[in-house]
Amino acid sequence: MKKYNFNAGPAILPRIAIENTAKAILDLNGIGMSLLEISHRSKDFQAVIDNAVALMKEVMGIPDNYHVLFLGGGASTQFATIPFNFLKNKAAYLDTGVWAKKALKEAKGFGEVITVASSADKNYSYIPKGFTVPSDADYFHITTNNTIYGTEIREDFSCNIPLIADMSSDMCSRPVDVAKYDMIYGGAQKNIGPAGATFVIIKDEYLQKITDQRHIPTIFDYRTHVKEGSMFNTPPVLPIFTIMETMKWLKELGGLKVMEKMNIEKSDLLYNAIDSSKMFVGTAEKDSRSLMNICFVMKDEYKDKEDAFMEFAKSKGIVGIKGHRSVGGFRASTYNALPKEAVQFLVDTMIEFEKSNA
């Protein structure tokens, strides 16, 4: 049966990126060896990582004074590495969900942590507005897309202190004005590659702000990875290859402007279906809605039908729409590689279910 993959992460990837990765696993560029069997310091792999970095810079329009790193450890390691390097006295965080809170928690051991604003009062169903960032903090940390709650910050705002963004789940979903950020990071496994690689985009000048008030082990010091070109230790070679292929796909598609247009079309399709439904209702406030993770539940009078819809969707090949336990209901992740036809199929399935159950 054809499957419609709405998984939240690891998640759907461009088919061509998977096929080319499969080929490289069997034989990289006709060298007679697998991508998995060669030294990360060989010229064949060096070409892969160089190309991945160059393509990401091109696709995202990353200015020349920024470095692109591919590391291990996931976004969660960055939660700790960021304050380890940059928290001298005080850091500011925007509390928009589970991941934002996890990032904030890791900073607490390194200095004072200010929660600038929080949407915890309404189960993180909106992005707080009108907050003031303390001008004496070392940095301001935001989570641009809240994977679990389906809310997203879609504008790049200006900040009077260094701005650091976890873009794990909306990386490359829209054009980003990278110059507004001192650092952007995330796990690759939501929107640009397989699990195992962490991307870090860091401004060269920001490296000078790394604290000297504590000992930073070599592996956790950003300067190490910049100096060694992500090769201080063995980088995640396979995920880096797939990221390179995903960047090629994005470039051929026409870049992030085109990607954003497609993502808006897809999410409009599903949000409109939710808003015009008798049974379903969205959980995120309209002006905070994410293009990447669309969360919805059954209205109170139909709550007892949620399991039945889940079964119905499953019987049609729809995968991964169970909502996170902290929101309940359903979450459809509509990442870059998900075709519009899949969203249309989900919408048709919702309408069909509603006809016989509402």
Ligand X SMILES: *Cc1c(COP(=O)(O)O)cnc(C)c1O
Map residue 154 onto helix, strand or coil: coil
Candidate list 81, 151, 169, 333; residue touching ligand X; CB under 6 A: 169
Stretch that binds ligand X, among 163-171, 199-207, 261-269, 279-287 (CB under 6 A): 163-171
Q: Alpha-carbon Rg of the chain, whole angstroms? A: 21
Select 141 or 190, whichever has its Cβ closest to ligand X: 190
Q: Count residues contacting ligand X (CB under 6 A)?
A: 12
Select 75 or 350, whichever has its Cβ closest to ligand X: 75
Select 174 or 190, whichever has its Cβ closest to ligand X: 190
Residues 25-84 binding ligand X (CB under 6 A) are 74-76
- Burial group, residue 40, by CB count within 10 angstroms (0-12, 13-18, 19+): middle
Q: How many CB atoms lie within 10 A of CB 245?
A: 25
Map residue 118 onto helix, strand or coil: strand
Give yes or no for residue 143 binding ligand X (CB under 6 A).
yes
Rounded distance between C-alpha atoms, residue 241 and residue 233, angstroms: 17
Candidate list 57, 101, 141, 190; residue touching ligand X; CB under 6 A: 190
Phi and psi at residue 229, to the nearest 5°: 55, 45
Give yes or no for residue 118 binding ligand X (CB under 6 A).
no
- Helices 237-253 and 43-60: crossing angle in degrees, nearest 10, is 40
Residues 219-258 binding ligand X (CB under 6 A) are none
Residues 291-350 binding ligand X (CB under 6 A) are none
Tell me the closest approach of the beta carbon of residue 278 to ligand X, in angstroms.
Answer: 31
| Phi-psi map region of 230: left, alpha, beta (phi>0 left; psi -120 to 50 alpha) | left
Select 246 or 277, whichever has its Cβ closest to ligand X: 246
**Is beta strand 280-282 parallel, antiparallel or unpaired with respect to 112-118?**
unpaired
What is the set of active-site residues?
Answer: 99, 166, 190
Tell me the closest approach of the beta carbon of residue 141 to ligand X, in angstroms.
Answer: 11
Select 170 or 260, whichever has its Cβ closest to ligand X: 170
Calculate the alpha carbon distances from 108 to 73, 87, 93, 115, 229 in Å.
Answer: 20, 10, 11, 11, 30
Tokens of 159: 């900040």
Give yes or no for residue 9 binding ligand X (CB under 6 A).
yes
Binding residues for ligand X (CB under 6 A): 9, 74-76, 99, 143, 147, 166, 168-169, 187, 190
